[in-house]
Chain A
Amino acid sequence: MEIVVFYILAAVIVVFSVLTVTTQRILRSATYLLFVLFGTAGIYFQLNYSFLGAVQLTIYAGGIIVLYVFSILLTSPDGDKIATKLPKSKLFAGLVASLAGAVLCIFITLNHTFPVSRFVPGEIDMKTIGFALLGTEKYQYMLPFEAISVLLLACIIGGIMIARKRG
């Protein structure tokens, strides 16, 4: 059962991530990205990281994709076609580079002997995550949490400053 679910998720992710970069219309590209993100959330759920899956669904699928769709609709007045075509040599170069890289990485991954994996099923309870996120001891993450909150504040201000209309 678990293996069947994994194969479905893997097929969805592979097919839609290839479609995301090869389709000619940018709005379809954003929609396929949404399916890839759903598949990733499914993998997190399968690894028993429910919190991570929920974060993925709310932030990526709920927030970022909406942002993409709105900006595509704002910036593509003449349909959502890709206007310029690349010369065939560029396409060929990109294809060769990415295929060679993928084959090399998969070859190394399958030949490397990892340490013995001890898959321990079971959920991390919310209390552990909360204490680790907001503690100040070793292996606790108060400082990165605060740094990210400052980063998000800077991003809000920067986004408003860049995107506002200058009168």
Chain B
Amino acid sequence: MIHMEYYLVVSTIMFFAGIFGFFYRRNLLAILISIELILNSVDINFAVFNRYLFPGQLEGFFFTLFAIGISAAETAVAIAIIINIYRNIRNIQVSKLDKMKH
């Protein structure tokens, strides 16, 4: 049997890889990919806690299910916004996005 902590270590590394990408990347789509990594690692935690600590219940299971659905919706809207930005200023680098200030 695998200890629960191993899963948590894997998901922690994935979470902080996402955080690093969020700081480091300058492309809007790359930032969105980093957010996907963060959401995914939290989903692993929910499933692992549910299976190991409360095996008779289904809370973590459904939280993961709903989190997957919500992140799909969030990605769709964010990509629509990014495509609209690209259509207006022909660029999706963060440093070029200063038109909305005025």
Do B76 and A67 touch (CB < 8 A)? yes
Bound form: Cα–Cα A120–B82 in Å:
44
Q: Is B100 part of the binding interface, using a Cβ–Cβ cutoff of 8 Å? A: no
Complex contact A75–B86 (CB within 8 A):
yes
The main secondary structure of chain B at its interface with chain A is helix
Say yes or no: A98 contacts B37, CB within 8 Å: no
**Chain B residue contacts of A59, Cβ below 8 A:** 68-69, 72
How many positions in chain B have a CB within 8 Å of any CB in the partner chain?
70
* Residues in A lying within 8 Å of B, measured CB to CB: 2-3, 6, 10, 13-14, 17-18, 20-21, 26, 29-30, 33, 36-37, 40, 43-44, 47-49, 52, 55-56, 59-60, 63-64, 67-68, 71-72, 74-75, 82-84, 86, 90-91, 93-95, 97-99, 101-102, 105-106, 109-110, 114-115, 117-120, 124, 128-129, 132-133, 139, 141, 144, 148, 151-152, 155-156, 158-159, 162-163, 165
Which residues of B are in contact with A by a Cβ distance under 8 Å?
A: 1-2, 4-10, 12-21, 23-27, 29-30, 32-34, 36-37, 40, 43-44, 47-48, 51-53, 55-59, 61-62, 64-66, 68-77, 79-84, 86-87, 92-93, 95
